[in-house]
Structure 1
Amino acid sequence: MQLYGALILFMTLSTACGLRCYTCTATDPKSCTDTKSCPVIFNRCFSLRIDGYNMVTKGCQTSLACVGAMACCEGNLCNSVIPTGPCGILLLVSSAIITLFL
């Protein structure tokens, strides 16, 4: 029974953190280090390379607007090379617990 309580706690904490995305407009995608908590209506992070100007734009987006050249992803800080952050760790731990015990 304690296992289910811990599982619910991890899932609640990871949801409470909300979605975080890298946000920037830059010429080098690796220079995007600013993060932002997305408003509730946004459920994806995006990256968009602007050809001809050698620029990339990153931020929050809704799944409905993820079309064309816009690369969208689910999860905290997923629009970077390496996803990081405490909410990501909580999601990984809760996924591992579910996989091992269910």
Structure 2
Amino acid sequence: MQLCGVLVLFITMTTVCGLRCYTCTATDPRSCIDAKSCAVIFNRCFSIRVEGYDLVTKGCQTSALCVAPIDCCEGDLCNNTVLTGPSFIVLLVSLAVVTQFI
């Protein structure tokens, strides 16, 4: 019974605390498993890959600062490693171009 109470408290606190994003600076995007609740001023999660250094940074951001090369998304933990939207389209186009030259 105490476990159920703890789970309800955790779910309630997660909802009250607002947006949650993965946060890290790492060379492997799959290693970004730490998540935190964002401050009230942040309404987006972000990911940015630093080319040449093979580095990925993830965290919380405001929509006003979501400009290229920063990839922003809405919703809890949306900045995971799954390719969606524009990233997926870029991957498909790149794959099509590469297969034309092979």
Q: TM class by shorter-chain length?
A: 0.5 to 0.7
> What percent identity do the matched residue pairs reach?
69
Residue 64 of structure 2 aligns to a residue whose secondary structure is helix
Name the counterpart of 1:81.
81
- Deviation for aligned residue 1:17: 4.1
Give ranges in structure 2 of 5+ residues lacking alignment.
1-11, 83-102
Equivalents in 2 of 1:20, 1:13: separation in Å? 11
Question: TM-score, structure 1 length as denominator?
Answer: 0.64
- Deviation for aligned residue 1:16: 2.3
Equivalents in 2 of 1:13, 1:58: separation in Å? 22
- May I ask how many residue pairs the two structures share in their alignment? 71
Which stretches of structure 1, 4 residues or more, deviate above 2 A after TM superposition?
12-17
- Deviation for aligned residue 1:42: 0.2
Equivalents in 1 of 2:16, 2:80: separation in Å? 22
Max radius of gyration: which structure? 2
Give ranges in structure 1 of 5+ residues lacking alignment.
1-11, 83-102
Greater RCO (Cα-Cα under 8 Å, separation 6 or more):
1
What do the CA deviations read for 1:21-74 (whole angstroms, capped 9, x no partner)? 000000000000011100000000000000110000000000000001100000
Q: CA RMSD in A?
A: 1.9
